[in-house]
């Protein structure tokens, strides 16, 4: 009997966060907490980001990750956890709204070292 299901590790965002913290990296975690309409990733989807901008996982099809990462840098440097909302009605829509027409709320927090 060998190590079961190592393939799944590409999706183990929390496992990645744990590994990065163990290496002494600064880490932030973004989690989809609410969705309306046709948002691409369901509630509970996660993206983990380190201080150099390395990332694993996703909170959308790639449309809002840039904005989330920018916020994550501030939060991993000591900013308070924050709820970010994205959607077509948002004034940021032109830049980072969801092309699919959905809305999402993303909780961004620092992982304590």
Q: What is the DSSP string of 53-76?
A: --EEE-SSSSSSHHHHHHHHHHHH
Find the shortest distance in angstroms from Cβ 20 to other proteins.
12
| Residue 33 or 96 with smaller CB distance to other proteins | 33
Alpha-helical regions (H) of the chain: 13-22, 65-76, 93-96
| Residue 14 or 99 with smaller CB distance to other proteins | 14
Residues 6+ apart with CB under 8 A from 95: 67
Interface residues toward other proteins, by CB under 8 A? 1-8, 10-11, 14-15, 17-18, 21, 29, 31, 33-34, 43-44, 80-83, 105, 107, 109-113
| Residue 43 or 54 with smaller CB distance to other proteins | 43
Find the shortest distance in angstroms from Cβ 58 to other proteins.
14
| Residues forming a β-bridge with 46 | 31
């Amino acid at each position: 009997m060998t190590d079961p299901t190592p393939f799944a590790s590409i999706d183990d965002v929390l496992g990645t966060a744990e590994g990065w913290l163990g290496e002494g990296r600064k880490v932030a975690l973004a989690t989809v907490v609410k969705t309306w309409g046709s948002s691409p990733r369901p509630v509970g989807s996660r993206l983990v980001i380190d201080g150099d901008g390395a990332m694993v996982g996703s909170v959308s099809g790639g449309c809002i990750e840039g904005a989330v990462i920018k916020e994550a840098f501030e939060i991993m440097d000591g900013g308070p956890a924050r709820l970010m909302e994205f959607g077509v009605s948002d004034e940021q829509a032109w830049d980072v709204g969801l092309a699919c027409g959905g809305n999402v709320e993303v909780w961004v927090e620092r992982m304590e070292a």
